[in-house]
Amino acid sequence: MFDRLKQAFQSIATAVKQKELTDEELDKALFSFQISLTESDVGQRVAESLAREVQASLSGAKVDRSADLSEVVGEKLSAVLGEAFAKAGTVDLVGNIKEKRKSGEPYSILFLGINGTGKTTTVAKVANRLKKSDLSVVCAAGDTHRPGAIEQLTEHADRLGVKVVSQRYGADPAAVGRDGILYAKAHHSDCLLIDSAGRMQTNQNLMEEMAKIVRVVKPDFRLFVADALTGNDAVSQAELFNEHVGFDGAVLTKADADVRGGAALSIVYSTGKPVLFLGVGQGYDDLVPFDSAKFLGSLLKAA
Ligand code: GDP
Rounded distance from Cα 112 to ligand 1 centre (Å): 14
CA 44 – CA 35 distance, rounded (Å): 9
Predicted confidence band of residue 113 (pLDDT cuts 50, 70, 90): very high
Q: Which atom of ligand 1 is nearest to the CA of 113?
A: 3
CA nearest neighbour of 21 among 8, 9, 30, 10: 30
Which of 6-20, 34-48, 80-94, 177-191 comes out lowest in average pLDDT? 6-20
Ligand 1 pocket mutation, candidates 1, 121, 150, criterion most atoms within 8 A of CB: 121
Two domains, one topology: 3-88 and 93-247: no
Is the CB of residue 119 below 6 angstroms from any atom belonging to ligand 1? yes
CA 122 – CA 286 distance, rounded (Å): 9
Rounded distance from Cα 203 to ligand 1 centre (Å): 22
Per-residue pLDDT, 246: 96
User: Whose CA is closest to atom 26 on ligand 1?
Assistant: 281
Q: Which atom of ligand 1 is nearest to the CA of 125?
A: 20
Where along the chain do its domains lie?
3-88, 93-247
Contact 20, 65 (CB under 8 A): yes
Is the CB of residue 289 below 6 angstroms from any atom belonging to ligand 1? no
Is the CB of residue 128 below 6 angstroms from any atom belonging to ligand 1? no
CA 253 – CA 266 distance, rounded (Å): 15
Is the CB of residue 248 below 6 angstroms from any atom belonging to ligand 1? no
Rounded average pLDDT over 162-178: 96
CA nearest neighbour of 121 among 136, 143, 106, 100: 143
pLDDT of residue 202 exceeding 60, the answer is no
Rounded distance from Cα 281 to ligand 1 centre (Å): 8
Contact 195, 119 (CB under 8 A): yes
H or E element, residue 164: strand 163-165
Q: Which stretches within 144-231 are classed as H helix?
A: 149-160, 173-186, 204-217
Is the CB of residue 253 below 6 angstroms from any atom belonging to ligand 1? yes
pTM of the model: 0.89
CA 178 – CA 217 distance, rounded (Å): 6
Q: What is the pLDDT of residues 6-61, one digit of tens each?
A: 777 777 666 665 545 667 767 766 777 777 777 777 878 888 888 888 887 787 56
Q: CB atoms < 10 A from the CB of 224, how many?
A: 29
Q: Superfamily assignment of 3-88 in CATH?
A: SRP54, nucleotide-binding domain (1.20.120.140)
Which residues lie below 8 Å from residue 177, measured CB to CB, with a gap of 6+? 108, 110, 140, 142, 194, 213, 216, 217, 219
Specify the CATH architecture of the domain 93-247: 3-Layer(aba) Sandwich (3.40)
User: Whose CA is closest to atom 11 on ligand 1?
Assistant: 118
Q: For the chain, how many residues are written?
A: 303
Q: Which stretches within 40-172 are classed as H helix?
A: 44-60, 69-88, 93-101, 119-132, 149-160
Rounded distance from Cα 117 to ligand 1 centre (Å): 6
Is the CB of residue 196 below 6 angstroms from any atom belonging to ligand 1? no
Contact 105, 185 (CB under 8 A): yes
Q: Cα Rg for the chain, rounded, in angstroms?
A: 21
Phi, psi of 107 (to 5 degrees): -90, 130
